[in-house]
Amino acid sequence: MSRRSWVRAARASLIGVSAVLIAQAAAPPTDLAVQSVSSYQKQQALMFDDFNGPAWTPPNPQWWSYDTGGGGWGNGESQTYTSATSNVRLDGAGHLVIEARNDGGEYTSARVTTQGRTSLLYGRAEARAKLPRGAGMHPAFWLLGTDLGVVGWPDSGEIDVVETISGAGQLYSSVIGPRTTGGDWQAGPTTDVANTFVDDFHTYWVEKAPGRVTFGVDGQITGAVTAAGLPPDERWVFDKPFFLLLNVAVGGEWPGPPDSSTPFPAAMVVDWVRVTGD
């Protein structure tokens, strides 16, 4: 994930909060509701994980592997990702726990991915989750193009279904793609919420269709980005398979560092993940 530079363009009242649609590519929510529901009902399950299993065991390797290591992850982040059950595990009550820890100033966390296991071309990816908040916290549910290892980022494309930082007063969703002149472009909705919104389970989802990426929370659409709305120098790279990622980052250029008020351990708790498609 790269550092975000959010440009606010327009506001619309959605899910009892205000959603900010970014850039020229944002499409009107009222236009999307019927299309989204209609296409979703025709899709079939490609993946469903409800994280049932004994406490302190890893998630199902049929679906999940791990990105591990430190080095800042391109954003100046402070954590080292591990596959240890202290950082990623089932809780025995039907949840996946991704836990960021502070062990004497050494931060560890986890990042799980479906890379090489399952992917989404067209359809919907969704996760029902609680998200951690506090200074320096940066949880995310997102997708990357399966050709990442061949073309690199941002040519792979990135779809951020939901990200929050620090106090979690906003839900960030976006697509990120390459420019023909080099570098990257970003567009998508930002949704203002009460800080306590993320303390409860909510379903965060993205739906991919040819030339369109639509974002939503629970039963409401928060915005969309379309290929038709892009300027000539912004390439559309989203009509291909993408794999899923879940992680909790600590610190970095965007949220800033944790401080003495940051609650550790801090956990993303995921009830289920589902991928449906044609």
Which residue among 99, 158, 207, 234 is the active-site one? 158
Q: What is the pLDDT of residue 42?
A: 60
* pLDDT tens digits, 255-265: 999 999 999 99
**CA–CA gap between residue 202 and residue 131 (Å, rounded):** 9
Q: What angle do CA 58, 61, 62 make, to 5 degrees?
A: 145
* pLDDT tens digits, 108-141: 999 999 999 999 999 999 999 999 999 999 999 9
Which residue among 163, 207, 234, 253 is the active-site one? 163
Q: What is the pLDDT of residue 72?
A: 87
Question: What are the residue ranges spanned by the domains of the chain?
Answer: 7-46+121-241, 53-117
Q: What is the pLDDT of residue 96?
A: 99
Is residue 234 annotated as part of the catalytic site, yes or no?
no
189 preceded by cis ω (within 30°)?
A: no
3-state secondary structure of 34: helix
Residues of the chain where predicted confidence (pLDDT) is lower than 50: 2-38
Cite the DSSP H helix spans in 92-249. Answer: 148-151
3-state secondary structure of 189: strand
CB 111 within 8 A of CB 245: yes
Beta bridge partners of 14: 17
Residue with tokens 């203002």: 192
Cite the DSSP H helix spans in the chain. Answer: 29-41, 148-151
Assign a CATH topology to domain 7-46+121-241.
Answer: Jelly Rolls (2.60.120)
Is residue 163 annotated as part of the catalytic site, yes or no?
yes
Residue with tokens 């398979």: 241
pTM for this one?
Answer: 0.88
